[in-house]
Structure 1
Amino acid sequence: MATTFRRSQAHDREAILHLMEEARGEGLTNEEKSQQGFVQGPMDQDILGRLESGPGIFVAEVNGEMAGFAMSAEKHHIVHNPPAIKAMTEAAATDPHLNQFLYGPTAVARAYQGQGILTGLLVAISAHLSANFDQGVAFVETTNRKSLSVHRHYGMTELASFEIAGREYIPFVFSPKLFQSPERAELLAAVTNLSPLRK
């Protein structure tokens, strides 16, 4: 199984949107969504284009098939997502001097879950952004137990929760160095087309 990780391009947008729709958990009960994990928030071709112009969207391919994606953005790219802005604001309050990027949303196709795809995407993001960013910031709705478990498993730092429109979210912060350890060298070797980001 040949797995590669790279920055997305315009021709990937349709596949990313399709995978994101699958990951929303439509038709599942709230309990099923909580157990399986879900993504949320608005997304369309225009938003994807705006995110591509920033730190970038990263995709995983297995034998040329889209297996997963992870988005990253700076604060001015995410005007479409109030919880994301709030998460970055909360994280910045701990140290306003840190240069931060937003991590997420992310999704892995069901056929490829449990095979290291998400870890590889985090390695790719960290490899690409570590020269220019001190910290990644993610946010997870508290009803999304699967996502909370994943972020805690990776050792990200959990901050105080906040509420928007009756929904509670938890911000997580991490240094890109967290995903650049020697034991992840094999995944790093699978990262393609990722020259260091220059601002």
Structure 2
Amino acid sequence: MTITFRLSSPGDRAGVLAVLAASRGEGLSAQERAQQGFVQGSFTEEMLARVEAGPGVVVGVDDSGAVVAVAMTMTQTPAGGPPASLGLYMRRHHDDKRWAMYGPVAIASSHRGRGLMRPLLAEVSRRLDGYELAAGFIDADNAKSMAVHTAVGMTVDGYFTVNARRFAVVTFRPGENFSPTE
């Protein structure tokens, strides 16, 4: 089966929302969520439309056209919560850089462990070429996501706290030869 990576279109929104919702880890214990990874926040078609208007949502689609991987990119952080705190962190620590937000990222459970993170991030990196830095945040309790992101070569740049929850800031340089090793 071939997976193609590209920017999403309005016709992909239901698939994007399904992958993100399934990746929230609802119904799992805290330990299971940490081991399997999880996505934060809820998303709507309207939110996706706004994100698509920026650098966009990178999707991986299988031969049938089903969305199996998702990575959002934004140039403006949404107001409130961890995204706003990421923006504050970046202004404090990287005010001299042109940066874009990366994430959330999710891979359908049926396709995890198949090496999709590498080409997904390579497409994100290509789409963000021209930015000096890409930054995302990961809940410090999300052991799986922390392990995957550091294994693919992202840097843990620092941490911030929101509502007593600790988040790691992960960064990479877009446009470079992104050769992660999932």
Q: TM-score, normalised by structure 2?
A: 0.92
Query: CA separation of 1:108/1:4 partners in 2, compared to 1, >3 Å: closer, same or farther?
Result: same
Q: 1:75·1:102 contact (CA, 8 Å) conserved in 2?
A: yes
Task: Map 1:11-22; keep pairs closer than 5 Å.
Answer: 11-22=11-22
Deviation at 1:178, TM superposition (A): 4.5
The question of 1:36 aligning with 2:36 is answered yes
Q: What residue in structure 1 maps to residue 89 of structure 2?
A: 90
Cα distance in 2 between the residues matched to 1:60 and 1:84: 24
Q: What residue in structure 2 maps to residue 103 of structure 1?
A: 102
Deviation at 1:135, TM superposition (A): 0.6
Deviation at 1:160, TM superposition (A): 2.5
Deviation at 1:99, TM superposition (A): 0.7
| SS, match of residue 137 in structure 2 | strand
RMSD: 1.8
| SS, match of residue 6 in structure 1 | strand
Deviation at 1:42, TM superposition (A): 2.8
Q: 2:100·2:131 contact (CA, 8 Å) conserved in 1?
A: yes
Deviation at 1:45, TM superposition (A): 0.9
Task: Map 1:61-80; keep pairs closer than 5 Å.
Answer: 61-63=61-63, 64-75=65-76, 78-79=78-79
Deviation at 1:74, TM superposition (A): 1.1
Deviation at 1:89, TM superposition (A): 2.4
Query: CA separation of 1:180/1:149 partners in 2, compared to 1, >3 Å: closer, same or farther?
Result: closer
Task: Map 1:28-177; keep pairs closer than 5 Å.
Answer: 28-63=28-63, 64-75=65-76, 78-79=78-79, 81-130=80-129, 132-177=130-175
Q: Deviations over 1:39-63 (max 9, x none)?
A: 0113111110100000100000121
Gaps of 5+ in 1: 185-199
Deviation at 1:179, TM superposition (A): 4.2
Counterpart residue identity of residue 113, structure 2: G
Q: Deviations over 1:84-124 (max 9, x none)?
A: 22123213322312111110001101111111212111111
Gaps of 5+ in 2: none
Identity %: 32
Query: CA separation of 1:89/1:178 partners in 2, compared to 1, >3 Å: closer, same or farther?
Result: farther
